[in-house]
Chains A and B, each alone.
Chain A
């Protein structure tokens, strides 16, 4: 109830309840006055474009205060404030390399050229005329989980900052295979070099086999035109692969016999391994899961809780998600909802009665190919501590006797990783 309404009520002499509430009196009603008052006045009118409730304004993407520019870097989907499996388009995580271009669809063109029989130019209308496909796929930044490289662990970590560089949408578009068939591939064609229409003219190399398999040239997200920050009017959707190869604002595809080795597949988005090698083309996103409730910086009370979280894998369907309530000693199977789709986020749930004792909870996902998430120790046995990408180790949350939830990851042996040392200006989104 706002102040004006309260004054109105007082002046009408109908404010006994409100007065009691104001003075904190003993006879306070269990019924919120506002819940019934609202029925005495007309609501708002029809409107042409809907907005969420004014009371939901704190459900926003997380933008690190440490970024030196908001034209490059990333922000995070607020995972623990969302339900279901579809990420609202306005809360899909962002990653840009030169800001979000404001593309006029009337000027939009996609050109396919290089090792093709017929170089072709498509308008947006052309793309929409062709046969369409609608599928739900996750998109995840290769730098998701980058906060996991911090050692000792960041005690202010939330589910958002742990794994919020993933989002899940229904995408509609034309299969790239159709466009390539229209242009006609020449003998020896092996690679595609897609290019974005942003200031950075972002490029990557994509092997033709993947393009012919399931890649979409997408123009719609969750039933409406793709949001500008997700690539309006047209982007690539490369199911299960790292987000950085799913080029947004797609303007050009060059067909070649060799990869380009662009900056974002050499100096970035390459993995430093524990044996000192650097791996290129680490495209597929390994299985991940994150408990979103209860999670970092939340507080719970004794009694019943539905543990909730999200799981996904770039290898296929999630087959099962397990929950540990004792710091990883024993694991129990969570239920999944909806029935898992390939390369799409699934929600997991587990009924739990908290007895008020301090404990550490964890989740780990298994996909249909038998892949699962490593522990931190297992992860760092394979990847180097100065690597920046593909961190998918199990996230632990510690619940204190006071019900407060904080990062439950262990401090690792060896040299500490400096806070902010990871992914400077890069896709980890924090520094």
Chain B
């Protein structure tokens, strides 16, 4: 009996030694890359374009997607309705522009954000229903409406990250944040 307890104690000691040796608690289930992808149903699109899926869409195709899924909230041409205004002149805001008039052409700083957010969270009541092609298309349409692109080429994983947003020129890292995290650089 005493011998049994000795072995129980010894194996417990061995286990805790193993846990401590690795500095880990060994809790949590490892996932394969395949399993991670199954979970990652709305992958993030980074500002450098990493994460953009295959597919593409044109301004004309986007106009149809917009009319079907977006116009009822954001206005027939993105001028705003019950919800946020999307379209402005392609000039960055000034401090005189009323914040209700902040829109994609004058305030958004990264074109990739538009793809990420549209695929992630829109349409508001039925997020996730648009195909990648439809998202590229509606992004092309909205950028065109804002005068940011001329619509001569479709939006896809190569063209979208190259689109320069006018308001990017105004964006800076908060100086207090920069002091605390000197390594941070805005994309």
Q: Mark A residues whose CB is within 8 Å of B.
A: 68-69, 71-72, 97-98, 109, 111-113, 118-123, 126, 129-131, 178-179, 181-183, 190, 193, 195, 199-203, 207, 209, 251-252, 254, 256, 258-263, 266-267, 270-274, 276-284, 384-388, 415, 417-418, 421-425
A203 to chain B, nearest CB (A): 6
Q: How far is the CA of A181 from the CA of B97 in the complex (A)?
A: 46
Bound-state Cα–Cα, A5 to B50, Å: 72
Q: Assess whether B30 is interfacial by the CB under 8 Å rule.
A: yes
The 5 closest A-B pairs by CB, nearest first: A120-B28, A384-B95, A263-B117, A200-B121, A279-B174
Q: Which of B16-69 contact A (CB under 8 A)?
A: 23-33, 35-36, 39-42, 44-48, 50
Given contact pairs A209-B181, A266-B113, A260 touches B45 in the complex (Cβ within 8 A): yes
Contact across chains for B113 and A261 when beta carbons are under 8 A apart = yes
A contact residues around B170 at 8 Å (CB) = 276-278
**Docked complex: B153-187 residues within 8 A CB-CB of A:** 167, 170-177, 181, 183-184, 186-187
Which residue of chain A has the shortest Cβ distance to B118 in the bound complex?
A263
Whether A109 and B39, one on each chain, are in contact in the complex, defined by CB atoms closer than 8 angstroms, is yes
Q: Known A-B contacts: A122-B28, A126-B29, A251-B39. Give 20 more (CB < 8 A).
A: A98-B127, A111-B36, A111-B39, A119-B31, A190-B183, A199-B121, A201-B120, A202-B121, A258-B48, A261-B186, A267-B104, A267-B107, A270-B171, A271-B174, A277-B170, A278-B93, A280-B172, A385-B95, A421-B98, A424-B99
Query: How near does chain B come to A37, taking the closest CB pair, in angstroms?
Result: 52
Q: Is the CB of B31 within 8 A of A279?
A: no
Q: Are A119 and B36 in contact (CB under 8 A)?
A: yes
Residue of A whose beta carbon sits closest to that of B40: A252
| 16 A/B residue pairs, CB under 8 Å, sorted by A | A111-B36, A120-B28, A121-B28, A123-B29, A178-B25, A182-B25, A195-B42, A195-B44, A252-B39, A261-B186, A263-B117, A279-B171, A279-B174, A282-B174, A282-B176, A425-B84
* Known interface pairs A120-B28, A386-B96; A281-B177 also in contact (CB < 8 Å): yes
A190 vs B96: C-alpha distance in the bound complex, in angstroms? 36
- With contacts A121-B39, A200-B121 taken as known, whether A280 is within 8 angstroms of B27 at the C-beta atoms is no
* Docked pose: A330 CA to B165 CA in angstroms: 49
Contact of B28 among A182, A387, A418 (CB under 8 A): A182
Cross-chain contact A129 with B27 (CB below 8 angstroms): yes
**Complex Cα–Cα for A207 and B173 (A):** 13
- Most A CB atoms within 10 A — which of B46, B112, B127, B173? B46
- List chain A residues, Cβ under 8 A from B167: 278
- Whether A263 pairs with B116 at a CB distance below 8 angstroms is yes
Q: Complex formed: what's the CA distance from A199 to B125 in Å?
A: 8
Q: Does B110 contact A (CB under 8 A)?
A: yes
B136 at the interface (CB under 8 A from A): no
B78-135 at interface with A (beta carbon < 8 Å)? 82-84, 93-100, 102, 104, 107-110, 112-113, 116-117, 120-121, 124, 127
Contact A280 B113 (CB under 8 A): no
In the complex, residue of chain A having the shortest beta-carbon distance to the beta carbon of B38? A111
Contacts of A130 in B (CB 8 A): 25, 27
